[in-house]
Structure 1
Amino acid sequence: MPEMTFDIRWPDGSIQSCYSPSLVMHDFLTSGQRYTVGDLVDRAGAALEQASDRVRAKYGFACTSAAATNDQIMKSASRFAPDAEVTIIAMQPSLERS
């Protein structure tokens, strides 16, 4: 199962590198796109849940790394107002777009 990383620039300029066990993050987030903190939390949470479900379907157990990533994002997000802006500055590997 392909895994990936994605980097978030928070409203204070700090950058957080995150892990996903699945490329499904590309279905929910776009590199270079801005989101509100609240929207990011919702999108990332849904994506990481789906990623963990994919791991469970393939290996028979949930991905604790996906849950840990979601917890880290929620902890970072709690420092900011829900309508503050964040930017996804990188997603690796990127998807080929035609």
Structure 2
Amino acid sequence: MADIYSKGSIIQPRQLRRLNGKRVVFMSGEEGKIAFPYIIIKRKKDYQPVNIMNRQVFKEIKQIRNGRVTLAERVNSSSPLYSTGQGLSKKKTQTSYWRKKDES
């Protein structure tokens, strides 16, 4: 599986779990927010969930943004979704083997 933190890697739908809470811009200009496994789109006064794992919905994604920074972008509708390598930092989770968990 490609690393979404590097520039030019292809993003797959299951990798969007790491991008929870980021903005999605569709080819039609609509915007939504990732709440894996859905994208929540605001249409008029309603919020409508759309499944990310649906191939047609995933192909409609044009950009994924974090504020002003573009995290991933698709050049046209037939090209894959490429990561830009910006705006994300790897979270290193450290496990301490010396500390004991709560023993209650």
Q: So what's the TM-score if we normalise by structure 2? A: 0.27
- Would you tell me which structure has more helix in proportion to its own residues? 1
- Would you tell me which structure has more strand in proportion to its own residues? 2
